[in-house]
């Protein structure tokens, strides 16, 4: 029998946590053959709710779920974990300055970095979901120097999936027949959803999205802003932020990272920039990546036109600015 994989979910009593833990326990993240042990962390005010989630996981009788730890102790939560999905964070509240929110999250991610570095399993893979996701990931990287940089990532797969969804709706095709959109940059409204390399699988083979959607105006403006503003549109409609789609995207991210991307297909992940595509090294930036044997690599050699160049730079500038704000909070 396969050994269980230990998966940490922080902020597990929150909205995304509530959608995410049953997906992990059903094998959505690591496959239907892979037993899991869930480590769930939250903070004292949410301890009772977290225990309620644990009770429901017991009641769901998931065959793949081999153990459940629900705790408010960060060291206990991090001990021996193979995968860490960091959903816990401090949300922006009305009247709060950006710097105050940043400062709270910097101190959370600094502390959790130290706990992961000391207590996680070797080669633990880390995904940061909590906002500001890219910058939280950067702080975690800085304060967990012994965790390989290639093991630290942030979630832009939700934006990637939103882009696939918009194209599928527009062309009235199956979303699974759309591939190779790209989310560049920050998980924020400056992100650049790029369809220049995307294609659709048709009965006559693969066709570029640019060829099938003749309306450049839609592709160059409405499509981009719809994806950028989708999070806000969900909040407006639900009075709560995206949770099921965020949880599903977190599963897709880890699934593809661990088990590999399909031949000829890439996905978007926020990873540490090595300077590819002229993105300054030292930022956590979303790139197109392929994954094989548990390692991601940035897709190289894509043509970047002038329109795209401006957008790649704008979101890089925002990340550089967030980085200095974060450092000023240390």
Among 5, 8, 9, 10, binds ligand NAI (CB under 6 A): 10
Asked if residue 288 binds ligand NAI (CB under 6 A), the reply is no
Nearer to ligand NAI, 35 or 42 (CB): 42
36-41 and 125-128 beta bridge pairing? unpaired
CB of 182 to ligand NAI, least distance (A): 16
- Residues at the binding site for NAD(+) are 11-17, 42, 105, 129-131
Asked if residue 13 binds ligand NAI (CB under 6 A), the reply is yes
Beta carbons of 209 and 194 less than 8 angstroms apart: no
Whether the CA torsion 309, 312, 317, 320 is positive or negative: it is negative
Asked if residue 24 binds ligand NAI (CB under 6 A), the reply is no
Using alpha carbons only, give the angle 200, 204, 208 rounded to the nearest 5 degrees: 30
Asked if residue 129 binds ligand NAI (CB under 6 A), the reply is yes
Residue among 284, 280, 272 nearest 150 (CA):
272
Catalytic residue among 39, 160, 187, 253, which? 187
Among 241, 276, 297, 317, binds ligand NAI (CB under 6 A): 241
Show Cβ contacts of residue 10 under 8 Å, excluding neighbours closer than 6 positions: 41, 42, 77, 84, 85, 86, 87, 88, 112, 130
Asked if residue 14 binds ligand NAI (CB under 6 A), the reply is yes
Query: Collapsing DSSP states into helix, strand and coil, what is residue 108?
Result: helix
Nearer to ligand NAI, 202 or 225 (CB): 225
**Is 255 designated active site?**
no
Whether the CA torsion 282, 284, 286, 292 is positive or negative: it is positive
How far is Cα 125 from Cα 250, in angstroms, rounded to an integer? 13
Asked if residue 318 binds ligand NAI (CB under 6 A), the reply is no
Just list the catalytic residues: 187
Footprint of ligand NAI on this chain (CB under 6 A)? Answer: 10-11, 13-17, 41-43, 46, 87-91, 108, 129-131, 133, 155, 158, 187, 241-243, 246
């Amino acid at each position: 029998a396969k050994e269980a994989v230990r998966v940490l979910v922080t902020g597990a009593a929150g909205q995304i946590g509530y959608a995410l833990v049953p997906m992990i326990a059903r094998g959505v993240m690591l496959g239907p053959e892979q037993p899991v042990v869930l480590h769930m962390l939250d903070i004292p005010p949410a301890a009772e709710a977290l225990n309620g989630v644990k009770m429901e996981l017991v009641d769901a009788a998931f065959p793949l779920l081999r153990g459940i730890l629900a705790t408010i102790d960060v060291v206990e939560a991090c001990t021996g974990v193979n995968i860490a999905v960091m959903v816990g964070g401090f949300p922006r509240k009305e009247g709060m300055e950006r710097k105050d929110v940043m400062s709270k999250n910097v101190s959370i991610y600094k502390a959790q970095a130290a706990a992961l570095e000391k207590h996680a399993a070797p080669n633990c893979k880390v995904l940061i979901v909590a906002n500001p996701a890219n910058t939280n990931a950067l702080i975690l990287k800085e304060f967990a120097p012994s965790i390989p940089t290639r093991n630290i990532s942030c979630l832009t797969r939700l934006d990637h999936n939103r882009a696939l969804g918009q194209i599928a709706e527009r062309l009235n095709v199956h979303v699974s027949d759309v591939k190779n959109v790209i989310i560049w940059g920050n998980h924020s409204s400056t992100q650049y959803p790029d369809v220049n390399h995307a294609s659709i699988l048709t009965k006559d083979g693969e066709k570029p999205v640019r060829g099938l959607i003749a309306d450049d105006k839609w592709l160059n403006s409405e499509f981009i802003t719809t994806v950028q503003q989708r999070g806000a549109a969900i909040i407006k409609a639900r009075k709560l932020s995206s949770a099921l789609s965020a949880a599903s995207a977190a599963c897709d991210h880890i699934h593809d990272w661990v088990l590999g991307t399909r031949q000829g297909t890439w996905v978007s992940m926020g990873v540490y920039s090595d300077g590819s595509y002229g993105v300054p090294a030292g930022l956590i930036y979303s790139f197109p990546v392929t994954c094989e044997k548990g390692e991601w690599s940035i897709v190289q050699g894509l043509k970047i036109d002038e329109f795209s160049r401006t957008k790649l730079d704008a979101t890089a500038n925002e990340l550089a600015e967030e980085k200095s704000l974060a450092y000023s909070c240390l």
